[in-house]
Amino acid sequence: MTYNWQQKDWKKFTYDKQVIAEYIVAFSEKIGLSKGALNVLSKEQHSQSMIDALVLEALKTSEIEGEYISRKDVLSSIKRNIGVSAKDSTVRDVRAKGIASMLVHVHNSYEQTLTKETLFEWHSMLFSKNTNISVGAWRSHTEPMQVISGSIGKEVVHFEAPASSDVPNEMDAFIDWFNSTAPKAKDEMKFAAVRSAIAHLYFESIHPFEDGNGRIGRAIAEKALLQSIGYPLLISLSSSIEDDRKLYYESLKQGQRNNEITKWLVYFIEVILNALDNSAKIVDFTIKKTQLFDAYKDQINDRQEKVLRKMLESSIEEFEGGMSAKKYMKLTKASKATATRDIQKLSELGIFTQIGKGRSTSYKINLDNY
């Protein structure tokens, strides 16, 4: 078995332009729709949509690696990093702080040239408290860097990256390629989705760090996409990838077998297209939230508003388990009688829809009318 980096045409990625052409058309259409949707958002709505997209990306890029972090901690960390004051903003999970810091940096600096110092900074953000690996530096261990699955004694090697001694030169070449294919550069790559897909595959094939290659590789794919489009798209690639994690790893494995990468491009551009659909849902969700509060601002009290905002923090995902009387009492410090009256009023207004009965009764927010 030889891998892409071991072959004579390494770095000379080729693909069937006819096959990819229809995907480029679909991408262009969705980008146009995305730009149009963002243009109608107010400054506050845009900020909220950006927060929702960043929170979703932070959670999903971590879940792909088997890490499950607190939404509350991620949300607080994102708000801190973009300069939005966050009430109740104590963050206990350093992983949430790290991924939030990195993603906000990626989003804010997408136009900037990529450097190894930037990559080291991202790595340091992810692993600021980790003493078990080399942080903010290329890997240097002598043993092979392998992607393995299976139990002890029955391991299956899916991929082996270049030796650590080769990483500095390989990454110099990668960074040069990334910057030379950027907008207005000498070898500008016109198709944003193709550049994003190649950037991810290329970086993952080098696997330059001891840990964190997946998260940083997906951040690089996003940077390439935003840079080539020319504006900070509200998108979560990892959310689309995490929908079928097995397909992601299988597609990556096949893409690393040789340097004819048509199948990989088809897979990854479809990921981007799905992510653009999800982005539209995030924007639509933000607009509906605004319309909800505008419609009922004179008919709900402070307790009800607090509960609704708390539920809607979960972005396009449902508030876990719905809102019960018990949860309402805990959030608002209200008595059972007051909580019951408040919930009844929200139901009468059509804001709450009941789910379940008896002790299992809870409520979800009905946004279908907005």
302-365 has the same fold as 4-285? no
DSSP 113: P
Q: 363 has which bridge partners?
A: 323, 354
Average pLDDT, the chain: 93
Element (H, E) at 9: none
User: What is the pLDDT at residue 359?
Assistant: 84
What are the structural domain ranges in the chain?
4-285, 302-365
Question: Tens digit of pLDDT for each residue in 59-92?
Answer: 999 999 999 999 989 999 999 998 886 555 678 8
User: What is the pLDDT at residue 327?
Assistant: 94
CATH 3.40.50.1820, domain 4-285, yes or no? no
CB 206 within 8 A of CB 5: yes
- Start-end of H helices in the chain: 17-39, 43-64, 71-82, 94-108, 116-126, 167-180, 192-206, 213-229, 237-242, 245-255, 262-296, 302-312, 325-332, 336-348
User: What is the pLDDT at residue 104?
Assistant: 97
Question: Tens digit of pLDDT for each residue in 322-359?
Answer: 899 999 999 999 999 999 999 999 999 999 999 998 88
Q: Name which CATH class applies to 302-365.
A: mainly alpha
Question: Tens digit of pLDDT for each residue in 290-303?
Answer: 999 999 999 999 99
pTM of the model: 0.90
pLDDT at 321 over 80: no
Among 26-40, 210-224, 268-282, 317-331, where is mean pLDDT lowest? Answer: 317-331
